[in-house]
Structure 1
Amino acid sequence: MPETPQSEILPDARPDNWVDRFAPEGLRPWLKLGRFDRPVGIWLLMLPGWQGAALAASMSGRWPDLVLMAKIFLGAALMRAAGCAYNDILDRDLDAKVARTAGRPVASGRISVRQAWAFLVACSLGGAAILFTLPPLAIALGIASLVLVAAYPFMKRITWWPQAWLGLTFNWGALLGFAAATGELGITAILLYLGGVFWTLGYDTLYAVQDMEDDALAGIKSSARRLGPSAPRAVLGFYALAFLFALSCAFAARLGPLFLPLAAGYGLHLSRQAARLDMDDPRGALALFRSNALAGLILFAAIVAGRFGQGLWGGGGL
């Protein structure tokens, strides 16, 4: 009997994803273990790091360092893969009870737990090799992030807000990217990080809408289940805070006025997501979730544009 395509089991992987179309059959379970068939997760982990590096550069009137940007991209891809493998190892029994995740390589038995650990170690070593080319503070931040990563899979068992913990984890790159560019931290990087936390809380609530029925049966907690019908209003509130923290960051960093029109586009993009959220439309919620790669790119572009004419709005910053 032919194997059911993974994209049919996992609706968050596009049916035409490159893994199912082009990758050799033997590599597909490994690529899917690292979620390389769903690159939006790489973007969402990478973009806070790009934003942090761009913020540091714009505060000095410079363009972002392209070498650093490449390191952040590769590091995000590797560490996201390692994190997904870790999550799948710990959640293999829960994953088997949820339709969207039942076909994941570990839950379905196509990759053993021992093999998944080997994959995790290999990806982590690759990420570490990149991390140790950065300044000492960035290295320390990278190591500290492992605490957040290690605890994340347990959050869905003990709190209704695992999406908030994911926000703390996924946006750590904002601090790391800033520290990698400057060798230090400051209030601007912290404000950028806090804005990212609320951004992730919003978009991962959208993501959790897909699994509400199965999560209830499996006893998995999520912000979508906790909020229920009020989720669209709550997501709008999370996004409003994300936007306000982004503005506060720009003010503190004395970014120039070109930040504002692009930041307005970021705010509009987020508000439209909240307005379009239908709790009875899981596929629509998934499409809204995916659109956050564009939202993060818009904010990144706004920060880069802010290098021109610093301090011309807001009267001097902090």
Structure 2
Amino acid sequence: MIKRLKDFSELVAFEHTIFSAPFMLIALLCASMQKNHSLWFGTSLLLLCALALIFARNFAMSVNRYVDRDIDSKNIRTKNRPSVDGRVSPKMMRILILGNALGFVVVSYFINTLAFSLSIPFLLILGFYSYMKRFSYLAHIVLGLSLGLAPIAGSIAVLGEIPLWCVALSLGVLFWVAGFDLLYSLQDMEFDKKEGLHSIPSIFGAKKTLLISRIFHLLTLIFWGIFLALFGCGEIAYVGLGLCAMILGYEQYLVSKDFAHIPKAFFVSNGYLGFVFLVMMILDLVME
């Protein structure tokens, strides 16, 4: 049983939850301050949002691994994934897809009416990403949109609406994720060319990909700055934005210096960024 759970965790890359979770929490906290003038929005809502996030991620990753298992079997970097080497069967992946989709819809029902109404459209966006690279290099943007739904969901859970500050926060997440996905995709540039897959690195080359990634990360900082301004954040939050800028700059430096640093830039730098921003936002909201 423990081995099976480890295989499932590897299949859905559960550790990648660190990318979206901090931004859902930022939206939850900001929405609570707007509505309740308090950081705390309730234990039950926190548990429901955590379940929704887990179900959504598990659904998205299960779809991705199921759809891509033929591609992954040809790629040296991915041929040992549980979806390829037989540790998790196609039948089990279909069960995971349906089970997590149902779990997400049910949890959304208990959050509020708007969350329930948008649960199916959200799932369609999350599942659509897995097909994009077969016909469009905009897959990086769709991946960014998928993670950008996390703060949107947080705002909906507390407010039952999507304010402008949350849109700006989500757009920042979109370009942040798309930017680091471009760097990560450099590892598969030659493979994508060989297999006829659509990605920005395979179509535009490494040099232009690095430039586009930098533009995306610049847009990230701009949209997060707009978010802070719209919400009326204080100096501590802007210090947090400055720290995020430093982390993104370090990530870009690592990859431009040597593509062998891509895994470190992807997991370490981006793993810290969300939590740094979250901690600084909490401090700012408390001090205000």
Normalized against structure 1, the TM-score is what?
A: 0.81
Q: Distance in 2 between matches of 1:261 and 1:151?
A: 36
Match 2:32 to one of 35, 38, 57? 57
- Look up the match of 2:63: 86
Provide runs of 4+ in structure 1 moved above 4 Å. Answer: none
Q: Which moved more, 1:211-220 or 1:292-301?
A: 211-220
Shift of the 280–50 alpha-carbon distance from structure 1 to 2, 3 Å rule, reads same
Q: Distance in 1 between matches of 2:4 and 2:23?
A: 33
Query: Is 2:93 aligned against 1:124?
Result: no
Query: Is 2:181 aligned against 1:204?
Result: yes
Match 2:170 to one of 193, 198, 203? 193
Q: Distance in 2 between matches of 1:219 and 1:164?
A: 19
Check the 8 A contact 1:255/1:308 in 2, yes or no.
no
Query: Is 2:215 aligned against 1:240?
Result: no
Residue 192 of structure 1 deviates from its aligned partner by 0.9
Task: For residues 23-68 of structure 1, give each alpha carbon's deviation from its aligned partner in whole angstroms, at most 9, with x where no partner exists.
Answer: 73344433322223xx0x2111323321211221344542143633
What does residue range 1-318 of structure 1 map to in structure 2 within 5 Å?
A: 24-36=2-14, 39=15, 41-59=16-34, 61-65=37-41, 67=43, 68-225=45-202, 226-278=204-256, 280-282=258-260, 284-290=261-267, 291-308=269-286
Q: State the AA in 2 paired with 1:51.
A: I
Check the 8 A contact 1:50/1:72 in 2, yes or no.
no
Report which of the two has the higher share of helix: 2
Residue 165 of structure 1 deviates from its aligned partner by 0.7
Q: State the AA in 1 paired with 2:62.
A: A
Residue 154 of structure 1 deviates from its aligned partner by 1.1
Q: Which moved more, 1:253-262 or 1:216-225?
A: 216-225
Shift of the 257–26 alpha-carbon distance from structure 1 to 2, 3 Å rule, reads closer
Residue 201 of structure 1 deviates from its aligned partner by 0.9
Aligned residues: 284
Normalized against structure 2, the TM-score is what?
A: 0.89
Shift of the 304–58 alpha-carbon distance from structure 1 to 2, 3 Å rule, reads farther
Residue 274 of structure 1 deviates from its aligned partner by 1.3
Shift of the 170–227 alpha-carbon distance from structure 1 to 2, 3 Å rule, reads farther
Task: For residues 54-94 of structure 1, give each alpha carbon's deviation from its aligned partner in whole angstroms, at most 9, with x where no partner exists.
Answer: 22134454214363344333322232122111112111111
Q: Distance in 1 between matches of 2:24 and 2:240?
A: 19
Shift of the 180–27 alpha-carbon distance from structure 1 to 2, 3 Å rule, reads closer
Q: Distance in 1 between matches of 2:271 and 2:10?
A: 20
Residue 227 of structure 1 deviates from its aligned partner by 4.4
Tell me how large the CA RMSD over aligned residues is: 2.2
Identity %: 23
Check the 8 A contact 1:257/1:309 in 2, yes or no.
no
Check the 8 A contact 1:258/1:308 in 2, yes or no.
no
- Look up the match of 1:9: none
Structure 1, unmatched stretches of 5+, are 1-22, 311-318
Q: State the AA in 2 paired with 1:249.
A: F
Shift of the 58–237 alpha-carbon distance from structure 1 to 2, 3 Å rule, reads farther
